[in-house]
Structure 1
């Protein structure tokens, strides 16, 4: 430890402990590891990022820096104590400390990190300071090599990031970036499912759910429940799934989509809403494709002002109040009902 802050912890009832919840995590499945620093060591301080509660924002008047620091420490203890044994929680604590110090002590914040970490969790002072040093070196490398990393292929970038993470944090890197590992596993599973020769969509979705269960364990149900629409969208946008859905008649396709959503745990009310939307989209695309055929006929039969008059009349007849929007889109080169439809999305 390099320096110590003179801090007196009060017993004020105003010290509210915020619950720090890890699971289920709110990370979205992503194919790319981040190349952003883990903590914003070199970014401009955010006036709100370091405020754990309303009482620590800039509107509160403090009698001294020590009083404000004591409040911050008590708040960190209340939030992180139940999870401080988790490596990722320690990194989150360090992020909060960095943000707080950069806002309130911008000129010498680094020199205060050790004291604030030590005052927050004395029994882990050395371990937390070592993690801060590793985190700072890792972030400095990210900032220095960001352009080079962005120019790499996804595979090479991922390998470079993990090599540096292992160098900085050892095996703890797998715990610190556990969410990214889980998300990458889900992304890899989606790629494999898209390349699978199976055309059974229920089996494919079941395989995706199995991967989620393997990665999220007892928290998988909560993860799926909170991500039903996102997971469904990622699944049905796979080219192989789109191809299978396009082969089905509209009625069977709507039934298949309902069954897939039901497999992700959507309730009957939600299923009915989605089915009504699917039906509405089917009707819109049927109307749109009929419009495109009639539009092509007009373009082939008429020229000049007569062509524009016929197109205007067709657009008014088919789209009514939306006709002006359709004309604007087409003037910009966008044809809403041209090309392949994204089933389940439009």
Structure 2
């Protein structure tokens, strides 16, 4: 969601203007356009605020339609889930970016005032959440070089220690998706090393998805089925078996894997047809590669070799596809030299 831009404000103006439901507009000054807030911007704003309180400024009472629109947009997107820690974080991040773009110098003070004005029953919790979020952003910025030097396990433990320090048990709610994806990745590693057929491994993979994502599993499979299927098909143990199978066996295995991951009959038929089409392309590509290598060995570099290569490509693929292949090879890309990943290319 892109929030509608409004005019710049300061805390003093907002504090006075709230009584009149208005923004403060500096005389003859247009709103500043700046980049959305970064961790460094948040750290600077927090330090500035701690050093000195903002000075009140004169107030003007313009129309508040822009301000109402911003509030309505946020409530429409987050209002129903505003008691949820993750929704609170997302809303705060979005509002922080927006206010920093409108008024980089006073965005923190403005945000505190708006939280109190817009969410009178929740502003204490939101303010505390904002404080924790800013502290977390400052931590990530301050430790960025140290984090790069750590191993993945060390980095994860270090970050999670800080998250739990700042957010308590709710850290696992806020970063739930990260935990779920990690659990699934660990399950995939285990499945890859286990013995068993690809179909049995697909069954174990489906169970791992349900275990990691719980009630969200079916929705996840509906929205990300192809991504999840591709992750499974790229497992080295699965590809090893597919490469060892005959074409009919491989077609049956791929169909069973996709079916296990919830693909419907119509889609299964389309994919089965695509599997056969891909095999034909790779078989044709193998023949072209053999012919190309023979031409490269027979002719010296020059116009005659190039003309013979182009003629071979046209005979095998047709004029249009031959032109594509010619352009690729001129750029140093040889499509049929790539790795065959069954079920993907």
Greater RCO structure (CA 8 Å; 6+ sep):
1
Residue in structure 2 matched with residue 201 of structure 1 by the alignment: 198
Q: CA deviation at 1:178?
A: 0.7
Alignment partners' CA distance in 2, 1:215 and 1:79: 27
Residue in structure 1 matched with residue 156 of structure 2 by the alignment: 158
Q: Tell me how large the CA RMSD over aligned residues is.
A: 2.7
Q: CA deviation at 1:242?
A: 1.1
Q: In 2, are the aligned partners of 1:7 and 1:70 still within 8 Å (CA)? A: no
Alignment partners' CA distance in 2, 1:228 and 1:251: 24
Q: CA deviation at 1:339?
A: 4.8
Alignment partners' CA distance in 1, 2:133 and 2:292: 60
1:265 is the counterpart of 2:255:
no
Q: Which one of the candidate residues 99, 106, 109 is aligned to 1:111? A: 109
**Higher helix proportion:** 2
Q: CA deviation at 1:204?
A: 1.2
Q: CA deviation at 1:163?
A: 2.0
Q: CA deviation at 1:151?
A: 4.4
Q: TM-score when scaled to structure 2?
A: 0.77
Q: CA deviation at 1:221?
A: 0.8
Q: CA deviation at 1:172?
A: 1.6
Q: In 2, are the aligned partners of 1:9 and 1:71 still within 8 Å (CA)? A: no
**Counterparts in 2 of 1:97 and 1:340: CA distance versus 1, 3 Å:** closer
Q: CA deviation at 1:327?
A: 2.8
1:279 is the counterpart of 2:276:
yes
Residue in structure 2 matched with residue 244 of structure 1 by the alignment: 241
Deviates more, 1:260-269 or 1:324-333: 324-333
Q: Which one of the candidate residues 176, 179, 189 is aligned to 1:178? A: 176
Alignment partners' CA distance in 1, 2:258 and 2:211: 20
Q: In 2, are the aligned partners of 1:7 and 1:69 still within 8 Å (CA)? A: no
Q: TM-score when scaled to structure 1?
A: 0.77
Residue in structure 2 matched with residue 292 of structure 1 by the alignment: 289
**Counterparts in 2 of 1:41 and 1:69: CA distance versus 1, 3 Å:** farther
Alignment partners' CA distance in 2, 1:320 and 1:216: 48
Residue in structure 2 matched with residue 221 of structure 1 by the alignment: 218
The structure whose Rg is larger is 2
Q: CA deviation at 1:228?
A: 1.1
Superposed CA deviations along residues 20-79 of structure 1, whole A, max 9, x for unmatched, are xxxxxxxxxxxxxxxxxxx845569xxxxxxxxxxxxxxxxxx73754334433443444
Q: In 1, are the aligned partners of 2:184 and 2:208 still within 8 Å (CA)? A: yes
Alignment partners' CA distance in 2, 1:8 and 1:239: 66
Deviates more, 1:259-268 or 1:171-180: 259-268
Q: In 2, are the aligned partners of 1:298 and 1:307 still within 8 Å (CA)? A: yes
Structure 2: stretches of 5+ with no match in the other structure: 1-10, 22-36, 43-60
**Secondary structure in 1 aligned to 2:343?**
coil
Q: In 1, are the aligned partners of 2:225 and 2:261 still within 8 Å (CA)? A: yes
**Counterparts in 2 of 1:67 and 1:106: CA distance versus 1, 3 Å:** farther
**Counterparts in 2 of 1:69 and 1:7: CA distance versus 1, 3 Å:** farther
Q: CA deviation at 1:320?
A: 1.8
Structure 1: stretches of 5+ with no match in the other structure: 11-38, 45-62
1:315 is the counterpart of 2:313:
yes
**Secondary structure in 2 aligned to 1:340?**
coil
Q: CA deviation at 1:331?
A: 3.5
Residue in structure 1 matched with residue 186 of structure 2 by the alignment: 188
Superposed CA deviations along residues 190-236 of structure 1, whole A, max 9, x for unmatched, are 222222233x1122112221122122222211110111111111111
